[in-house]
Structure 1
Amino acid sequence: MGEHYFAERPGAASRRRTVDLVLPDLHLRLDTDSGMFSPDRIDPGTRVLLETVPPPPQTGDLLDLGCGYGPIAITMAKRSPQASVLGVDVNQRAITLAENNAKTAGLDNVRFTLVDDADPGLRFAAIWSNPPIRIGKTALHDLLLTWLPRLAPGGLAHLVVQKHLGSDSLQKWLAAQGFPTERIASRSAYRVLRVAPRTEGPTR
């Protein structure tokens, strides 16, 4: 994944390649590059998320938080062609590739943008994410506290986190912030957490 995958403009030299995402309901061929998350293969956590999460809402705005080159957002768009999917990331190289991958897949219901350029007024019927755990706990918490409050009423977020990178402690922290959170899947040392809109303020 490299140290620069969460930089806006990665310093790693470009080295383009292609990966295949094969799921029971779709097959995507995606272009990747150096300087972004998991450029050599579909990350195992992403695969666990996409193979276990319930179908996304068929309409409304859907979000892929930390989209990389687009496997989660493009899968959401394929599965919910009447919905509007947004993928956000800090990495401009990844955003450009994600846009190209969506075009290659023939999709017009998904778009990608840098995190800071996203419309803060959007409210999402679903958020799917393989969040960037390695940015550090404080930055991760700030990221989640920015985006999870943008769940629409009745919306749900699904996050995949490796057990050894703190999935259980993250689940407890989310609950303490007022977001009802439960584990809905566990496979290959990964946990899929379902997060509901905040019902109360954080506990002290």
Structure 2
Amino acid sequence: MHVAHYFEESPQAASRPGMVNLVLPDLHLRLETDRGVFSPDRVDSGTRVLLETVPPPPGEGDLLDLGCGYGPIALTMASRAPGATVWAVDVNRRSVELCKRNAESAGLDKVRSLHPDEVPDDVRFQAIWSNPAIRIGKTALHEMLTRWLDRLAPGGSAYLVVQKHLGSDSLQRWLGEQGRPTSRLASRAAYRILKVDAR
């Protein structure tokens, strides 16, 4: 039997469109969702912790939402940094399409929603925000993070939200062992926010 995962490129789950509200102190977005994507029924708690605790993104340059889903992180970045270009990437094609539509509905025309392989190789990111897909497995997670953290611009930082019981402390340790300066920015509820600086 095939078990559907939100990190598959083409979700097998039948479409069932829905809407969720993202309400933060500084913005309110209505987001279109669907089955077969990450957390379709509500904005995930980890995503909310990330968006409520990270410092404002750089006001210009290129920013990355790694694993964008239907776009709550990318759209928040774009709202807070209207002069920046936000690259929203996800392997899930349904997520990419939803994020694109949600950005258009919100009038955020500097969000570029793409499959990871469609991002030009020469783009360097001033900041990366991510609720990474921990459940893809440690090897795939490490490969994904290495690929994108290597593209942080000098002075740039990545902010990752990870559940404590899904290995936030071991991930922080591994990042440090890779020569990436990593600190714990915040710890709230069952989540930790890790800040990874460009090396």
* Both proteins in one fold, TM over 0.5: yes
RMSD (CA atoms): 0.8
Residue 144 of structure 2 is matched in structure 1 by 143
Which one-letter code corresponds to 2:155 in the other structure?
G
Residue 86 of structure 1 is matched in structure 2 by 87
User: Residues 165 and 50 (structure 1 numbering): CA distance in 2 closer, same or farther, change over 3 Å?
Assistant: same
Shift of 1:28: 0.4
Residue 22 of structure 1 is matched in structure 2 by 23
Residue 201 of structure 1 is matched in structure 2 by none
Shift of 1:3: 3.2
Task: Give CA-to-partner distance per residue, 1:3-58, whole Å, 9 cap, x none.
Answer: 32111110000010000000000000000000010000000000000000000000
User: Structure 1: how far apart are the matches of 2:75 and 2:42?
Assistant: 16
CA contact 1:5–1:36 (8 Å) conserved in 2: yes
Residue 202 of structure 1 is matched in structure 2 by none
Shift of 1:117: 1.2
Shift of 1:118: 1.1
TM-score, normalised relative to structure 1: 0.95
Residue 61 of structure 2 is matched in structure 1 by 60
CA contact 1:171–1:193 (8 Å) conserved in 2: yes
Between Structure 1 and Structure 2, how many residues are aligned?
197
Task: Give CA-to-partner distance per residue, 1:104-147, whole Å, 9 cap, x none.
Answer: 10111111100111112110000000000000000000000100
Residue 104 of structure 2 is matched in structure 1 by 103
Residue 170 of structure 2 is matched in structure 1 by 169
Secondary structure in structure 1 of the residue aligned to 2:83:
coil
Structure 1 gap ranges (5+): 199-204
Secondary structure in structure 1 of the residue aligned to 2:10:
coil
Structure 2 gap ranges (5+): none
Among the aligned pairs, what percent are the same residue?
68
CA contact 2:4–2:12 (8 Å) conserved in 1: no
User: Structure 1: how far apart are the matches of 2:195 and 2:24?
Assistant: 21
